[in-house]
Structure 1
Amino acid sequence: MGSISAEAVKQLREKTGAGIMDCKEALSVCEGDLDKAIDQLRKKGLATAAKRAGRAMTEGTVQSYIHMGGKLGVLVEINCETDFVSKNDNFKDFTKNIAMHIAAANPVSIRREEVPQELIEREMAIYRAQAEDLGKPEKMIDKIAEGKLEKFFKDNCLMNQPYVRDPGITISDLLSELIAKTGENIIIKRFIRFQIGE
């Protein structure tokens, strides 16, 4: 593989926000394939994020987003480790985008572990009843219901949702990219979404 073009590095930087040397290395490893290089950088971001998970987060921000002429509003708390990162433009953009995403995608919880048990049981009862109505054999009903529950988690848990501005990545991927960029542990701590008439 010859030298990596500056244009390819620039494109990869724009798409991922990763550093120049990381972009060059990923393109070199992936023989200039942009899509593969993006995946490579994402994996690296995920590994970095996992390493930082134990560190304390005492800084951050509460971001608001108001939509539809005041008919829909979101407050989200996002924490980081230092005041320096909380004032960083990448962090600020991320918090705005997450608040906007929550307004649009209406998640039930941040993570699947936080979905209330009674909601899971109610969904499972509905999925089982649907499978029974279709005349599915008894031994397949639970499997079908579990498959539909997985889809429910994907659609309704913030971290699993496809990002509204780029459905090719999840909110979890977006967060990992920010962690890789800032070098700090960052967490979406809590949110509340208000909609008139709900």
Structure 2
Amino acid sequence: MQITLEQIKELRKLTGAGVTNVKEALEHSKGDIDKAVEYLREKGVAKAAKRADKQADKGFIAHYIHGDGTIGVLVELNAETDFTARNEKFRELAHNLALHIAANKPEYISRENVPADILNKEKEIAKASIEGNKPEAVVEKNSRRKNAKVLRRGCLT
């Protein structure tokens, strides 16, 4: 089967993979775009597994200190190569993370890091704040929504 330039462009647009990988995937899948995407995903997982033992020991430390000195943030962002760590976009990302942390003041990295007792307390507060004689399903749904809003503000991710 002949692989066309249009197929290569389409698959690259869908996956962001390199030309060589895209061409290989299309040849492997006999021109079927869906199968080629699946092939690239499987190959990407294999690449990620190979990289699991790599050390991300090159990095950059960004800082932010508020004008009045009341807030200060240090963020260390690491990469595998010095080339990446010296890249201006990488440094900009580290700085933007520092600004984000300073502005939002998260207490936890993610929801998974929030202790169960804090989650339960927030859930009870959310339930108590819902007024009226509403069905349990409505109370539960609204309390979940309020709880999620509180957690979004309290977590970095």
Under TM normalisation by the shorter chain, which class is it?
0.5 to 0.7
Give, in angstroms, the shift of residue 123 of structure 1: 0.8
| Residue 124 of structure 2: aligned partner | 125
Give, in angstroms, the shift of residue 107 of structure 1: 1.7
Give, in angstroms, the shift of residue 129 of structure 1: 0.8
Give, in angstroms, the shift of residue 120 of structure 1: 1.4
How many Å separate the matches in 2 of 1:116 and 1:79?
27
Give, in angstroms, the shift of residue 127 of structure 1: 0.6
| Residue 58 of structure 2: aligned partner | 59
Q: Does 1:157 align with 2:141?
A: no
**Structure 2 vs 1, CA of residues 57 and 136 (structure 1 numbering), >3 Å: closer, same or farther?**
farther
Alignment deviations for residues 158-196 of structure 1 (CA, whole Å, 9 cap, x no partner): 22xxxxxxxxxxxxxxxxxxxxxxxxxxxxxxxxxxxxx
| Residue 18 of structure 2: aligned partner | none
How many Å separate the matches in 2 of 1:115 and 1:107?
11
Give, in angstroms, the shift of residue 58 of structure 1: 2.4
How many Å separate the matches in 1 of 2:92 and 2:126?
38
| 1:99-138 superposed matches below 5 A | 99-131=98-130, 133-138=131-136
Which of the two has higher C-alpha Rg?
2
Greater strand share, 1 or 2?
1
Letter matched to residue 61 of structure 1 = F
What secondary structure sits across from 2:72 in the alignment?
strand
2:138 pairs with one of 129, 137, 140: 140
Equivalent residues, number: 115
| Residue 6 of structure 1: aligned partner | none
How many Å separate the matches in 2 of 1:115 and 1:148?
16
4+ runs of 1 displaced by more than 6 Å? Answer: none
What secondary structure sits across from 1:63 in the alignment?
strand
How many Å separate the matches in 1 of 2:133 and 2:67?
44
The root-mean-square deviation of aligned C-alpha atoms, in Å, is: 2.9
Alignment deviations for residues 30-68 of structure 1 (CA, whole Å, 9 cap, x no partner): xxxxxxxxxxxxxxxxx88xx758454223233221003
How many Å separate the matches in 1 of 2:87 and 2:122?
40
Higher relative contact order (CA 8 A, sep 6+): 1
How many Å separate the matches in 2 of 1:65 and 1:100?
6
Q: Which runs of 5+ in 1 are unaligned?
A: 1-21, 27-46, 160-198
Q: Does 1:83 align with 2:82?
A: yes
Alignment deviations for residues 101-121 of structure 1 (CA, whole Å, 9 cap, x no partner): 111122222222122322212
TM-score w.r.t. the length of structure 1 is: 0.49
| Residue 71 of structure 2: aligned partner | 72
TM-score w.r.t. the length of structure 2 is: 0.59
% same residue: 36
How many Å separate the matches in 1 of 2:67 and 2:117?
31
What secondary structure sits across from 2:77 in the alignment?
strand
